[in-house]
């Protein structure tokens, strides 16, 4: 799945937009901006060019300054059959051990976020099924579960 302008929107249970990914019209680097329901720029995601692990840096607001770096995300391995990502918080400069690990199955529209290399789940996304089979014409509906305080680490 490629996240581009408008195809990734997060809404609450009442259908109100909470977050949306915006794709700048022109950018030398791969770049996405997460905005809240009021249009305030919350995060800037910048893809690093020419990396073997598809590295992305996530900054506070619209910044690209190192002082506003929140975390870096990269694939765990160059070749993967399922999605596995390592997340390193900004103060983890050496990146010897990840702070969070994301494992996802895109065909099932689900992912789990673990604390480092442990089996402790801090966030989880699952597809909501309303029928006994997967039949979706409308946008996907997902449910998100987060441990207390984890969102503060991810959006500053």
Residue 36: give its domain's CATH number.
Answer: 2.40.160.200
Backbone angles phi, psi at 44, to 5 degrees: -120, 125
| Strand ranges inside 2-140, DSSP E | 9-11, 17-22, 30-36, 41-47, 56-60, 69-75, 83-89, 100-105, 110-115, 121-127
How high is the mean pLDDT of the chain?
Answer: 77
Per residue in 74-125, pLDDT tens?
A: 988 877 777 889 999 999 999 999 999 999 876 667 788 899 999 988 888 7
Per residue in 117-145, pLDDT tens?
A: 999 888 887 765 544 444 444 445 555 55
Range with top average pLDDT, 10-14, 25-29, 91-95: 91-95
Instruction: Identify the three-state secondary structure at position 105.
Output: strand
Output the CA torsion sign for 91, 51, 102, 141: positive
Among 10-14, 48-52, 84-88, the range scoring the smallest mean pLDDT is 48-52
Indicate whether 65 belongs to any domain: yes
Indicate whether 138 belongs to any domain: yes
Structural domain count of the chain: 1
Q: What is the pLDDT of residue 79?
A: 75
24 is in which domain, residue-wise?
9-155
pLDDT at 69 over 70: yes
User: Using CA atoms, how far apart are residues 110 and 123, in angstroms rounded to an integer?
Assistant: 11
Taking residues 35-62, report their average pLDDT: 86
pTM of the model: 0.74
Indicate whether 123 belongs to any domain: yes
User: Using CA atoms, how far apart are residues 119 and 141, in angstroms rounded to an integer?
Assistant: 26
User: Using CA atoms, how far apart are residues 74 and 97, in angstroms rounded to an integer?
Assistant: 12
Indicate whether 48 belongs to any domain: yes
Nearest to 24 by CA among 53, 54, 46: 46
Indicate whether 144 belongs to any domain: yes
Indicate whether 3 belongs to any domain: no
Tell me how long the chain is.
156
Indicate whether 66 belongs to any domain: yes
Indicate whether 113 belongs to any domain: yes
pLDDT at 1 over 50: no
Q: What is the pLDDT of residue 138?
A: 45
């Amino acid at each position: 799945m490629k996240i581009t302008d408008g195809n990734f929107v997060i809404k609450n249970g009442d259908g109100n937009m909470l977050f949306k990914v915006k794709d700048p019209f022109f950018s030398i680097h791969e770049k996405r901006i997460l905005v809240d329901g009021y249009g305030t720029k919350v995060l800037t995601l910048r893809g690093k060019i020419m990396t073997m692990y598809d590295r992305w840096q996530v900054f506070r607001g619209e910044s690209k300054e190192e002082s506003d770096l929140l975390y870096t995300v990269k694939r765990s391995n160059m070749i993967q059959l399922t999605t596995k990502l390592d997340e390193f918080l900004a103060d983890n400069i050496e990146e010897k051990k990840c702070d969070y690990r994301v494992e996802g199955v895109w065909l099932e529209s689900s992912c789990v976020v673990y604390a480092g290399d442990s089996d402790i789940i801090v966030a989880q996304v699952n597809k909501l099924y309303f029928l006994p089979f997967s039949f979706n014409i409308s946008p996907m509906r997902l449910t998100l579960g987060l441990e207390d305080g984890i969102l503060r680490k991810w959006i500053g």
